[in-house]
């Protein structure tokens, strides 16, 4: 926390990037050196810019290169990913289940997300004090801030467990400069409270510019309730019912729909619309996304990017766990095994593995080397599967449960599920989550809340602790959490390291 809190009192933590209010001027640069808390928050435009800056830390974990990328941390922790990038030691520490608290991936998540929380706390405290600020606009801005604070805390508590809970602006004189850790239940209580406040903010159901929408708020709340129903809180039936009800609100709004083609999942023209409920925003030439170098094979000469890192790809065993008829494993749907040569596009290169196509920017890879893709955070497919799982747990199989999961299967060209008892339907829904939401920073969180892992050989679910990855390592109880970064333990002696690290 120390690196973070030394800077929290200054607006320089969040004025380096502005979130524009319209599509035509999405991001703008500003010199932050002229602003402090004391001379800012004096006009309505400052409210928008301060809330816009809360979004910026969302991008930090997605940075990728020859050192890997923090976003890969939860993917390697599933045992479903491989890498050819030997120098990305942080990837191997997680992949081989020998992680340590010195892993830079965890430090990026911790530092960036607490910076986002600090910015949210400052906006929540200061935006209502801005003179001549329209009351309705204040509510909407606070709705965004509460959502983003909830999102950051939701990820941190699932990654690290007992974490500091900071809800007010902090400076060098604050008692919370080195805060003690709170229990996960206290953190979840704040998350739910923040999302309920966001629900009351008057945000629109959709927002094509990429800002927080009501659809995003209710979708995230359904995910939070679903997680609370499972481990570690084990709230059970009541929270499965809450998760189902909140997901149903999103479904019944009819504001969202599945894409008809998987190509739209990585089509820049489809950013922030239809299936894409909430995304992390990027813009070609201004803030291009950088994970393209990581999802292409190591030095196969297929890309306009000079760096072809082979940073992450799917294990063959995971791809083979899909039904053979599943459209998602057909070439250039979710995965790709061949591509054209960069110097001669008439020649095809065998890549020797199953690389991730669902995040592949074809224009950037073949011509510009400057990606315009956003990163998906909440898709409508996730909402449908959240509803199906939660409603099945709460009340058992129903027509709406089957309709929700079968919408995913129909797009994958798989036969509809029918006539399954609750237990069988439960595992069928889990399997769809593994196969539909893979490589979107979701699967590991599912494994931990369920305490279940998918055995790609037997195609059945088994206990997470004791689960053996297809390439050898076996999960132990310590892998239920990631280690709190060494620097945070060193700088804040009130924190305690997670067991086993």
Query: Which residues make Cβ contacts (< 8 Å) with residue 289, sequence separation at least 6?
Result: 62, 282, 361, 371, 372, 373, 374, 375
User: How many other β-carbons are positioned within 10 Å of the β-carbon of residue 297?
Assistant: 23
- Alpha helices by DSSP H, listed for 230-286, are 237-253
In tens, the pLDDT along 337-369 reads: 999 999 999 999 999 999 999 999 999 999 999
In tens, the pLDDT along 81-139 reads: 999 999 999 999 999 999 999 999 999 999 999 999 999 999 999 999 999 999 999 99
In the structure encoding, which two tokens stand for residue 187, read together? 């953190």
Kindly state the average pLDDT of the residues 401-413.
98
Whether the predicted pLDDT of 1 surpasses 60 = no
H-run or E-run covering 376? strand 375-379
Q: In whole angstroms, give the CA distance from residue 77 to residue 90.
A: 11
Query: Which residues make Cβ contacts (< 8 Å) with residue 218, sequence separation at least 6?
Result: 199, 246, 247, 249, 250
Tell me which residue of 54, 1, 48 sits closest to 20, measured CA to CA: 48
In tens, the pLDDT along 206-226 reads: 999 999 999 999 999 999 999
In the structure encoding, which two tokens stand for residue 267, read together? 């089509």
Whether the predicted pLDDT of 13 surpasses 70 = no
Lowest mean pLDDT among 29-43, 66-80, 268-282, 315-329: 29-43
What's the Cα-to-Cα distance from 123 to each of 13, 34, 47, 283, 309, rounded to whole Å?
12, 18, 7, 25, 39
Domains of the chain: 2-203+482-491 (1.25.40.390), 282-373 (no CATH)
Whether the predicted pLDDT of 370 surpasses 70 = yes
């Amino acid at each position: 926390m120390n690196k973070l809190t030394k800077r929290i009192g200054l607006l320089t933590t969040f004025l380096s990037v502005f979130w524009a209010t319209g599509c035509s001027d999405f991001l703008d640069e500003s010199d932050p050196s002229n602003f402090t808390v004391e001379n800012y928050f004096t006009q309505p435009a400052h409210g928008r810019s301060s809330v816009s800056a809360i979004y910026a830390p969302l991008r930090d974990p997605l940075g990728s290169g020859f050192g890997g990328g923090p976003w890969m941390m939860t993917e390697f922790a599933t045992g479903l990913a491989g890498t050819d990038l030997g120098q990305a030691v942080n990837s191997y520490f997680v992949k081989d289940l020998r992680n340590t608290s010195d892993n830079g991936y965890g430090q990026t998540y911790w530092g960036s997300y607490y910076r986002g929380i600090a910015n949210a706390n400052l906006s929540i405290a200061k935006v209502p004090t801005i003179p001549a600020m329209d009351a309705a606009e204040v509510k909407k801005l606070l709705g965004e801030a509460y959502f983003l604070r909830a999102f950051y805390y939701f990820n941190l508590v699932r990654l690290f467990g007992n974490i500091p809970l900071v809800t007010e602006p902090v400076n060098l004189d604050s008692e919370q400069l080195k805060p003690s850790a709170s229990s996960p239940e206290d953190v979840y209580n704040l998350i739910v409270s923040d999302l309920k406040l966001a629900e009351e903010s008057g945000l629109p159901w959709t927002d094509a510019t990429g800002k927080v929408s009501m659809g995003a708020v209710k979708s995230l709340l359904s995910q939070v309730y679903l997680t609370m129903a499972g481990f570690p809180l084990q709230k059970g039936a009541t929270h499965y019912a809450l998760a189902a009800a909140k997901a149903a609100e999103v479904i019944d709004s009819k504001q969202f729909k599945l894409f008809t083609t998987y190509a739209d999942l990585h089509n820049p023209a489809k950013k922030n619309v239809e299936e894409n409920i909430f995304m992390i925003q990027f813009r070609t030439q201004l803030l291009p996304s950088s994970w393209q170098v990581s999802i292409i094979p190591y030095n196969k000469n297929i890309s306009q990017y000079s760096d072809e890192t082979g940073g992450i790809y799917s294990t063959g065993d995971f791809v083979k766990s899909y039904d053979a008829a599943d459209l998602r494993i057909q070439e250039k749907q979710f995965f790709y095994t061949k591509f054209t040569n960069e110097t001669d596009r008439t020649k095809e290169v065998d890549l020797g593995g199953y690389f991730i196509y669902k995040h592949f920017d074809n224009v950037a890879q073949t011509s510009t080397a400057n990606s315009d893709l956003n990163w998906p955070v909440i898709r409508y497919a996730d909402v449908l599967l959240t509803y199906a799982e939660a409603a099945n747990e709460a009340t058992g199989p129903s027509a709406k449960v089957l309709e929700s999961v079968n919408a995913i299967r129909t797009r994958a060209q798989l036969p509809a599920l029918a006539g399954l008892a609750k237990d069988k339907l439960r595992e069928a829904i889990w399997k769809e989550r593994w196969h539909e939401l893979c490589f979107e920073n979701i699967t590991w969180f599912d494994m931990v809340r369920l305490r279940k892992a998918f055995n790609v050989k037997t195609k059945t679910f088994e206990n997470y602790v004791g689960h053996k990855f297809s390439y050898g390592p076996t999960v132990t109880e310590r892998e239920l959490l990631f280690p709190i970064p060494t620097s945070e333990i060193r700088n804040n002696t009130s924190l305690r390291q997670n067991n086993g690290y």
